[in-house]
A and B are shown apart, each in its own frame.
Chain A
Amino acid sequence: MSEQDPRTTDDGSPVLSVAHDAEDPVVITPCPDGPLLVRGDVLIAPEPGAEPQKPPRRVVALCRCNMSSIAPFCDGSHKLANFRTRPPRYNIGNPREDPGEED
């Protein structure tokens, strides 16, 4: 591994890394004012208790704005809705560290 994770974004969005396969962990990136990008080998259960399904592509965008016509996936509607996310409030790598000021 190099010093910098190649999927680290520099626009303030945190990178959540869920180690499920040490070789190829699933990476979740909350995009500012947009969806959660999920990279890797995941299954998605359409609702609690439903059979998990394999999504049709390796990177999926999960809707956060609740406006999508293809939920749980994003269809770009967040832009029409002028959806705004809050900056990250939790230091994922070090939960005990002060996440910064409330806005």
Chain B
Amino acid sequence: MTTAPTRTVAPTARGPVSTALLEILTGPEETPASGYAAMSEAAATAVDASQDVLADEDLQLALFLLYLLHYGPAEFVTADREWDPELLRVRTVLEAGFEAELRRRVPLPDPLPGDSAQLVDTMFAMTGGDAKPTLATWLARHPSEEILSEFLVHRSIYTLREADPHAWGIARLRGRAKAALVEIQSDEYGGGRPERVHATIFAQTMRGFGLDDTPDHYLDLVPAPTLASMNLMSLFGLHRRLRGAIAGHLAAFEMTSSIPNKYYGRAFRKLGYDADVTWYYDEHVEADAVHEQIAARDLAGALAQDEPELLEDVLFGAAACLYVDGLMGDHMLECWSDGRTSLRGSMPGLQTVGSEAPAEERVAL
């Protein structure tokens, strides 16, 4: 049995905050006080000055790297930094800016549902609009090697660690909600069969498509909206205060999954890929039709009933999932409809939209 490959090269900074942070992460074990001071100052200034924290490349990368310390693997990090108080302090500053922007922009239904039964109905209504999702149906109509490889690159940031951010929630919930979350997560983690772990099935899809399945291999290429989608889950998962939001996030995610995955599978099949590549999507058509019911009723609904003061955050988590993942999807769709790449650049062997390289060169891997 081999262990998963790990990213060893540090990612490229995108601005003053990620520059100062990467200097610390890749620098000597003992960080000089001046290093921490530079980072804190850069963070405070950048959060204040940012026009849109959700689209801010520097802030989203810095937050992603700070969260990465809790997930790993991150071999470019030279010391044990997970609980470095200075890094936690700066994470708090970035998170405050991130959460404030989300609270400002994520639309919540008005009036709020009054009880847990109404909450479940509201969540089915909110996610019903995504039942026939534009990105998935568009992909099924216009699949190309370039577009699908960009799609997999975006998705790889989360999906190669699928279910991990929501797993933080298990320890923070009690009773019915905890049991429901474990029931879903058990399926996400393969029900005791390592080869069925969803992240592992996705890694097989990437390899089958000729892509590298090392977590974060393509980190430098993905733009802020994709990082924000992952950071949202980490924010909700890593704060006990936000346990309602992580439950709501998972529910909305599961409730908008089965039907899109059917279209994604179709897109890959149209290009001639077989079950080795489409297994991940086929599996999710079936699994998420189950998870949707458990997550909406037994996780989100039961949590709002057992801890009514969390109802609004459950809804916020669900709405934030739809909003932030919507930004990521809109970005891809906008770029591809214009014939542009949705990535920040390319890499040898990676096929991207609008690339100048001759086809033969791009296919080689």
Contact = CB atoms under 8 A, between A and B. Distances in A.
Contacts, number: 76
B340 to A, nearest CB: 31
B290 A76 contact: no
B265 to A, nearest CB: 10
Q: Which of A31, A37, A75 has the largest number of chain B CB atoms within 10 A?
A: A75
B286 A77 contact: no
Contact of A79 (B120, B128, B187, B301): B128
B243 interface: no
A77 B259 contact: yes
Nearest to A55: B286
B175 A6 contact: yes
A33 B131 CA distance: 14
Interface string B149-193: 000000000000000000000000001100100010011000100
B289 interface: yes
B285 A75 contact: yes
Contacts of A35: 289, 293
Contact of A57 (B191, B258, B262, B301): B191
Interface in A58-88: 58-61, 69-70, 73-77, 79-80
Contacts of A70: 285-286
Contacts of B249: none
B133 to A, nearest CB: 11
B187 A9 contact: no
Interface string A1-30: 000001101111100000000000000010
Q: Which 7 A-B pairs have the closest CB atoms?
A: A76-B258, A74-B289, A61-B290, A79-B131, A76-B259, A76-B289, A31-B293
Interface of B: 116-117, 120, 124, 128, 131-132, 175-176, 179, 183, 186-187, 191, 257-259, 262, 285-290, 292-294, 297-298, 301, 305
17 contacts: A11-B120, A11-B297, A13-B297, A29-B293, A35-B289, A37-B294, A58-B183, A58-B187, A59-B187, A69-B262, A74-B290, A75-B259, A75-B285, A76-B131, A76-B257, A77-B259, A79-B259
